[in-house]
Homo-oligomer: A and B are copies of this chain.
Amino acid sequence: MKKIIFISLSLFFLCYLSYSLFSLVKDNEKPYPYGFTSENASIQLEAEALLKSLPSPSNCRKYLHYLTEEPHMAGTEENYQLAKYVRDKFIEFGLEEVELVEYKVLLSYPKEIEIEMIEPKSYKASLREEGFFRDKDSYDSRVSIGFHAYSASGEVLAPVVYAHGGNPEDYDRLKEMGIDVKGKIVLVRYSMPYSYRGFKVFTAQARGAAAILIYSDPMDDGYMRGEVYPYGPWGPESHIQRGGVPFDFICPGDPFTPGWPSVEGAKRISPAESKVLPKIISAPLSWRDAKPILENLAGPVVPSKWQGGLPFTYHVGPGPAKVRIKVKMEEPVTSIWNVVGKIRGREEPEKWVVIGNHRDAWVYGAVDPNSGTSSLLELARVMGEITKDGYRPKRSIVFCNWDAEEYTLTGSTEWVEQWAEKLKKDGVVYINVDSACSGPLFDANVVPSLKSFLTSIIEDVQDPNTGLSVSEASKKIMGEERIREVIDTRVGSGSDHTAFLNFVCMPVINMGFDGPYGVYHSQFDNFYWMSHFGDPQFRYHSTMTTIWGIAALRLANADILPFDYVAYAEELSGYLAEIEDDVKNLLESELSLLENNLEKFKSQASKLNQEIKSLLSQDSVPRQTQASINTALMEVERCFFNQEGLPNRPWFKHLVYACKYTYAPEVIPGITEAVREKDWERAKSQILLLSKAVEKASSILSKI
């Protein structure tokens, strides 16, 4: 094997010599520092060549098959066994300092759930999914019934109101129609594009509903979208989207240790003190179970956009459908296990490039999250191969396999809370892959400083289906309708990058390949689904390994970190423009102060980019110079750290990014939320906070 690698290395060296030179010429045209001197770039490209050649689809298939063999919710024995499997693989592949990291956190399981329509006729929801005989995972009795983690326990008997997506504007519309949801059970749809179910519960609770049922409408992820399982990737009639419903847009992580790690002996608040636990009952339904209820709603016909894909005209109610819901949850404080391993850096081992994916799944989790786990394991193997003969990256790469992400981003949040000071000082970038693939369409969210960085990688990695670059292939798939950028620079929540970005202000990348996927959080998100529809040849799994590996290795090796703050400044100006009209008359001086500071920041960043370019065109950059520039570059993102956090959400400490309550990105959140609530005093102080942060950032850049 060593021989093969040596030959490969040599061959690739030759091939890449010319490529490197060409690529460096190209780099001169790029507006950001790629980060390597000519000499180091060629070494880097040799390693990248291996990263392109070594990942094996059949390995990815093998890992995924193992990982998805049994249902493995966080806190279960099965998931603990998988933690040990990942640990053993990390060790086998040559990672260092591999360990299981245990936290004791609040989890939530269904003890008893009954949902029964008692008027105008009787119907008892099965809460179960129907199997397909050729897919053993689709009729395993260990699969849980449909439930929402952290639902309140209790019993409700009330008429039902159909409230569309369960968003505030939907309730406003109901009110206009004269429909009051107080004391009622609201029946709402899961949303496409995704909107966090916890926000639906939060909104229903705020509007006075007694309970909420959230079902999957065939218009959104079922037969109206295309072929359903077992014939296609969309959700069949019995599929149930499980999921957590805590209000983790207020504070993620263990509900009993908000803002500090759930380690041995940690202080724990009481359930009553928690701001993230729902007070109403919530449960998911398949459309098979929702249909009898919807069919028995009278009242006004729904507004035209509320009609779903079931074969009758929808009505809002209330009633005559009257439903009894009984929910008993079991909520233990119990162990979860992250797995962490490292490749220690050569020159700056204390600097961490962190990569992570979670392991726990609502059922089998073939897409979510174990396609990512499979890519991660393959990356560990490939990195092991690359480093086997003594080669080491300059900085350390930290491999993390999180637990209990599905509950409330728990494993990653506890770990970040535990390592907060270390990460603020030495965390280079966090690269998250939750679902590595449900199809061929690359999708990423990154902080603005890393957009060019990631773009250059996906322009360089080949899409397995088309032979185009991943970047071109994704643009082609989106076609003229181009619903989004391939790489978006607005970062919300919804996965394990959240604590890194919002609690310790590390730059983050969150990425995956998307496709038609109607079985999210159902038992049909399993190996059969993946091997028939999602990625039958497992080549997107291995392509993700490549992209992830190149990104990690470039960041771990760069002479100068490839952070582009010109882009960051421009992005920030754009965010500001969005709220400008609302505040410019009221807060003119504060706004112009901020704008001036942003201009300065941008011009400092631009100057620095030029300097870096010229430094990198030399044979080598003195260590001292590298270190001082890199330290500064890392410090800039930390300028946006605000110890107080957002006025209503102190856990969220980044001044530029947070999530909305839907998990969607909320940019310059302190200012935006104050403006939305027309709290001009608060808006003023938030603008000043950001203004100071930007000033500090330019001052850091200017001192290099």
- How many copies of this chain sit in the oligomeric assembly? 2
User: Interface-forming stretch among A246-254, A274-282, A305-313, A322-330?
Assistant: A305-313
Contact check, A312 vs B223: say whether CB atoms are below 8 A apart.
yes
Q: Which residues from B are CB-within-8-Å of A224?
A: 307, 313
Contact of A310 among B232, B234, B307, B311 (CB under 8 A): B311
Besides A224-B313, A225-B307, A232-B313, 17 new A-B residue pairs in contact (Cβ under 8 A), listed by A number? A218-B311, A223-B311, A223-B312, A223-B313, A224-B307, A225-B304, A225-B313, A226-B301, A226-B304, A226-B313, A227-B301, A227-B313, A232-B301, A309-B309, A309-B311, A310-B311, A311-B311
> What are the 3 tightest A-B residue pairs by CB atom distance, in nearest-first order?
A311-B311, A223-B313, A226-B301
**Is residue A228 contacting chain B, with contact meaning CB distance below 8 A?**
yes
Interface residues of A in 281-327 (CB under 8 A from B): 301, 304, 307, 309-313
Interface residues of A in 7-31 (CB under 8 A from B): none
Considering the complex, give the chain B residue whose CB is closest to the CB of A287: B311
Min distance, Cβ A137 to any Cβ of chain B, angstroms:
23
Q: Which residues from B are CB-within-8-Å of A310?
A: 311
Min distance, Cβ A462 to any Cβ of chain B, angstroms:
26
Min distance, Cβ A528 to any Cβ of chain B, angstroms:
19
Q: Which residues from B are CB-within-8-Å of A304?
A: 225-226
Min distance, Cβ A177 to any Cβ of chain B, angstroms:
14
Contact check, B311 vs A228: say whether CB atoms are below 8 A apart.
no
Considering the complex, give the chain B residue whose CB is closest to the CB of A313: B223
Task: Give bound CA distance, A63 to B185, whole Å.
Answer: 49
Task: Return the CB mask of A82-112 against B: 1 if under 8 Å, else 0.
Answer: 0000000000000000000000000000000
Interface residues of A in 212-271 (CB under 8 A from B): 218, 223-228, 232, 234
* 9 pairs of residues in contact across A and B, judged by CB atoms under 8 Å: A223-B311, A223-B313, A225-B307, A225-B313, A226-B313, A227-B301, A232-B313, A310-B311, A311-B311
Task: Give bound CA distance, A311 to B223, whole Å.
Answer: 7
Q: Which residues from B are CB-within-8-Å of A312?
A: 223
Min distance, Cβ A96 to any Cβ of chain B, angstroms:
49
Min distance, Cβ A532 to any Cβ of chain B, angstroms:
15
Min distance, Cβ A424 to any Cβ of chain B, angstroms:
46
Q: Which residues from B are CB-within-8-Å of A228?
A: 313
- Most interface-central of A223, A224, A228, A312 (chain B CB within 10 A): A224
Min distance, Cβ A317 to any Cβ of chain B, angstroms:
15
Task: Give bound CA distance, A225 to B234, whole Å.
Answer: 24
Interface residues of A in 395-412 (CB under 8 A from B): none
Q: Which residues from B are CB-within-8-Å of A218?
A: 311
Task: Give bound CA distance, A301 to B225, whole Å.
Answer: 10
Q: Which residues from B are CB-within-8-Å of A309?
A: 309, 311
Task: Give bound CA distance, A225 to B306, whole Å.
Answer: 10
Q: Which residues from B are CB-within-8-Å of A232?
A: 301, 313
Task: Give bound CA distance, A228 to B314, whole Å.
Answer: 11
Q: Which residues from B are CB-within-8-Å of A234?
A: 313
Min distance, Cβ A71 to any Cβ of chain B, angstroms:
28
Min distance, Cβ A440 to any Cβ of chain B, angstroms:
17
Q: Which residues from B are CB-within-8-Å of A226?
A: 301, 304, 313
- Most interface-central of A223, A311, A312 (chain B CB within 10 A): A311
Task: Give bound CA distance, A225 to B232, whole Å.
Answer: 28
Task: Give bound CA distance, A227 to B311, whole Å.
Answer: 12
Task: Give bound CA distance, A147 to B218, whole Å.
Answer: 33
Task: Give bound CA distance, A313 to B228, whole Å.
Answer: 8
Q: Which residues from B are CB-within-8-Å of A313?
A: 223-228, 232, 234
Q: Which residues from B are CB-within-8-Å of A311?
A: 218, 223, 309-311
Task: Give bound CA distance, A232 to B310, whole Å.
Answer: 18
Considering the complex, give the chain B residue whose CB is closest to the CB of A226: B301
Min distance, Cβ A156 to any Cβ of chain B, angstroms:
29
Task: Give bound CA distance, A301 to B228, whole Å.
Answer: 11
Task: Give bound CA distance, A218 to B307, whole Å.
Answer: 12
- Most interface-central of A218, A225, A228, A312 (chain B CB within 10 A): A312
Considering the complex, give the chain B residue whose CB is closest to the CB of A231: B313
Min distance, Cβ A569 to any Cβ of chain B, angstroms:
37
Task: Give bound CA distance, A223 to B307, whole Å.
Answer: 9
Task: Give bound CA distance, A225 to B311, whole Å.
Answer: 11
Considering the complex, give the chain B residue whose CB is closest to the CB of A302: B226
Interface residues of A in 176-235 (CB under 8 A from B): 218, 223-228, 232, 234
Considering the complex, give the chain B residue whose CB is closest to the CB of A223: B313
Interface residues of A in 580-598 (CB under 8 A from B): none
Task: Give bound CA distance, A226 to B227, whole Å.
Answer: 26
Task: Give bound CA distance, A227 to B313, whole Å.
Answer: 6
Task: Give bound CA distance, A304 to B234, whole Å.
Answer: 13
Min distance, Cβ A161 to any Cβ of chain B, angstroms:
18
Min distance, Cβ A498 to any Cβ of chain B, angstroms:
32
Task: Give bound CA distance, A465 to B353, whole Å.
Answer: 68
Min distance, Cβ A225 to any Cβ of chain B, angstroms:
7
Q: Which residues from B are CB-within-8-Å of A225?
A: 304, 307, 313
Min distance, Cβ A642 to any Cβ of chain B, angstroms:
40
Min distance, Cβ A216 to any Cβ of chain B, angstroms:
14
Task: Give bound CA distance, A312 to B313, whole Å.
Answer: 16
Task: Give bound CA distance, A232 to B313, whole Å.
Answer: 10
Considering the complex, give the chain B residue whose CB is closest to the CB of A300: B227
Min distance, Cβ A312 to any Cβ of chain B, angstroms:
5
Min distance, Cβ A39 to any Cβ of chain B, angstroms:
51
- Most interface-central of A218, A228, A309 (chain B CB within 10 A): A309
Min distance, Cβ A566 to any Cβ of chain B, angstroms:
39
Min distance, Cβ A300 to any Cβ of chain B, angstroms:
10
Min distance, Cβ A343 to any Cβ of chain B, angstroms:
45
Min distance, Cβ A297 to any Cβ of chain B, angstroms:
12
Considering the complex, give the chain B residue whose CB is closest to the CB of A234: B313
